[in-house]
Amino acid sequence: MDLPERTVETALVEQVTSDGTRNLLYSLSARKLLSMAPDEWGHIRDRASEHRLDPVRGLSIRCLQCGEPLFIGTRRRGARNLPLFSHHANAKAPCLWNTGQRLSPDQLRALQYDGHQESELHARLCRVLESAAKADPRYIGSAINNYRKPETHGRGRYPDVLVQWSHRSETAFEVQLSRTQQPEVAGREIHYGAEGVSLIWVLHGLDLDADQLPQSFEDIIRRHRGNAFVMDQAALEASNELGTIVLSCHLRRNDGGFEPPKLVTLDGLTYPEHGLPFLEDRISAPLLERSKAVRRRWHKVLSRFPDGEWRRMRRVPDGLKGEVEDWKQRYGPMSTSRDDESEFFLCVLVAFALSIAAHAANPGTRVSYVTKPVPTAHLINLIMQRENLGMHQYALIIRYLIDNTRLSQVLPKSVDEHLERAFAVMEGNLCLAHEAEWAVLADVIPEVFDMRIREQMTYLGCLPDWVRPLADDPEVSELQQETP
Ligand SMILES: [Zn+2]
């Protein structure tokens, strides 16, 4: 892990009243400070000095990281003096951003994740979020760490920051530094979901380039569909400039790393029916893509054989041999009693199942990898009545596939009859759910055959329409017509 460069990135500028109340006026980044005219930053420097002399005068400038007072120092660069935030020499709290402190590498590392000042940093971040919300014209009210009485039953929660808006549902912000436990992460999501409150976990102080993030961060990022919302320097700056809450969104890449952050407002997010808001869904897309990639490889090879010509060779087409071999390695021998042709039967089964799936996905299509182009019922019946294709033993698989797509209960009776006949012919010697062919189909059409993927897609709301039984869909009624 690289140690951070030790400069003060962000300061909080506050006014302190005679009773000691601190009012956060704005946050100020080091970059913004550098961009200001000398009289502008000079003014803040003056006001900070006044405050140092008399605590109820001037402006308090504190380090966002440690909460210690800062002053605006200068550094000579060519002919100019450039301003920079500095800690006072007598600062007590150890700070990642304090250049004047001698800290061992171990102390620095410890500060990154669980410094003892965490609760104060947490409180400061809450106030930063609240003040950004207050600048938004839709802001109605807010509270920090206040009990929110639930509208549904059950116990309420103490959101870190709760904001009410006009024309938008309430938003609860939970500022996550490092320690929230998984049950509480899940519990809050369920609770706020039921209450119609949008929940956003705001992260801070994490090294997204680290090899392994603390698990609590991983949990939150996954629940936000691979989006890490961070309150960092750029986000603070943009919040001030735009007059609303802006967060830095780091999108997870497929390799587990993160893309450079994008600044987002709450309006730019998608609020799904279940689960937490996101900028881009980085969980569903790879999930859907994985099975599509397998299917594309099969389509590429099989579409070279019009009318299912490859069947006549009674062997696996060249481009698919590796795939079939790989399945045998992974899932063991196939269940068929005819060992010599087991690979060919597996290939027919997969091509047949893919054809049926294509029909479920596109009502009216005549796509077939195993026959000439035909309507759905015709496709199934043609293959099921040919005993030499070995599909009788897979009648349960075909039945299961049909029943778990929108072909369910919309196909003509002849399909049921063909399947019943296959059951009868096999006298119980059917390929059963624990056998290798089912595992292969879980790879090829996980939307139907892999319960784990199916559940996850349902939860994420990305289960494709074609794998939902949909007997009333007018689009599929035409499937019921018998073809000559
Ligand atoms: Zn500090």
First to last CA, the chain: 70
Residue pLDDT tens, the chain, 484 long: 344 467 888 898 888 888 888 888 888 888 888 888 888 888 889 889 889 888 888 899 999 888 899 999 888 888 788 899 999 988 888 888 888 777 777 776 666 555 455 677 888 899 999 999 999 999 999 999 888 988 887 788 889 999 999 999 999 999 987 655 666 777 888 889 889 999 999 988 777 777 677 777 888 898 899 999 999 888 988 998 999 999 999 999 988 889 999 999 999 999 998 889 999 999 888 888 888 888 999 999 999 999 999 998 899 999 999 999 999 999 988 887 777 889 999 999 999 999 999 999 998 899 999 999 999 999 999 999 998 888 999 999 999 999 999 998 889 999 999 999 999 988 878 888 888 999 999 999 999 998 888 888 888 888 898 887 654 444 444 444 444 3
Distance 92 CA to ligand 1 centre (A): 10
Residue 477 is predicted with a pLDDT of 42
Phi/psi zone of residue 285: left (φ > 0), alpha (ψ -120 to 50 degrees), beta? alpha
Distance 243 CA to ligand 1 centre (A): 26
Distance 64 CA to ligand 1 centre (A): 7
Distance 89 CA to ligand 1 centre (A): 11
Distance 14 CA to ligand 1 centre (A): 16
Distance 353 CA to ligand 1 centre (A): 62
Distance 141 CA to ligand 1 centre (A): 30
Distance 332 CA to ligand 1 centre (A): 60
Distance 63 CA to ligand 1 centre (A): 5
What pTM was estimated for this model as a whole?
0.68
Distance 24 CA to ligand 1 centre (A): 17
Distance 86 CA to ligand 1 centre (A): 8
Question: Within a 10 A sphere around the Cβ of 385, how many other Cβ atoms?
Answer: 13
Residue 345 and residue 338 in contact, taking contact as beta carbons nearer than 8 Å: yes
Distance 94 CA to ligand 1 centre (A): 7
Distance 228 CA to ligand 1 centre (A): 24
Instruction: Spell out the alpha helix ranges (H) of 54-154.
Output: 105-114, 118-134
Tokens of 223: 């629940």
Residue 391 is predicted with a pLDDT of 93
Distance 96 CA to ligand 1 centre (A): 6
Distance 71 CA to ligand 1 centre (A): 11
Report the distance separating Cα 398 and Cα 174, nearest Å. Answer: 48
Report the distance separating Cα 224 and Cα 276, nearest Å. Answer: 5
Distance 113 CA to ligand 1 centre (A): 15
Residue 110 is predicted with a pLDDT of 66
Question: Within a 10 A sphere around the Cβ of 144, how many other Cβ atoms?
Answer: 16
Residue 246 is predicted with a pLDDT of 97
Residue 179 is predicted with a pLDDT of 58
Distance 97 CA to ligand 1 centre (A): 5
Distance 124 CA to ligand 1 centre (A): 12
Residue 374 is predicted with a pLDDT of 94
Tokens of 283: 């969980």
Residue 370 and residue 352 in contact, taking contact as beta carbons nearer than 8 Å: yes
Distance 102 CA to ligand 1 centre (A): 13
Q: For the stretch 236-245, what's the b/e string if a residue is b when 16 or more beta carbons lie within 10 angstroms of its beta carbon?
A: bbbbbeeebb
Report the distance separating Cα 193 and Cα 275, nearest Å. Answer: 7
Residue 122 and residue 160 in contact, taking contact as beta carbons nearer than 8 Å: yes
Residue 360 and residue 405 in contact, taking contact as beta carbons nearer than 8 Å: yes
Residue 379 is predicted with a pLDDT of 95
Residue among 229, 226, 228 at smallest CA distance from 283: 226
Distance 87 CA to ligand 1 centre (A): 7
Distance 53 CA to ligand 1 centre (A): 20
Residue 472 is predicted with a pLDDT of 44
**Using CB atoms within 10 A of its CB, is residue 350 exposed (0-12), middle (13-18) or buried (19+)?**
buried
Distance 181 CA to ligand 1 centre (A): 27
Residue 397 is predicted with a pLDDT of 95
Distance 233 CA to ligand 1 centre (A): 14
Distance 336 CA to ligand 1 centre (A): 70
Report the distance separating Cα 22 and Cα 13, nearest Å. Answer: 10
Distance 58 CA to ligand 1 centre (A): 20
Beta strands in 30-177 (DSSP E): 60-63, 70-77, 80-87, 139-144, 161-165, 168-176
Instruction: Spell out the alpha helix ranges (H) of 68-214.
Output: 105-114, 118-134, 182-195
Distance 143 CA to ligand 1 centre (A): 26
Report the distance separating Cα 29 and Cα 84, nearest Å. Answer: 10
Residue among 11, 126, 5 at smallest CA distance from 65: 11
Residue 121 and residue 129 in contact, taking contact as beta carbons nearer than 8 Å: no
Distance 122 CA to ligand 1 centre (A): 14
Q: For the stretch 411-433, what's the b/e string if a residue is b when 16 or more beta carbons lie within 10 angstroms of its beta carbon?
A: bbeebeebbeebeeeeeeebbee
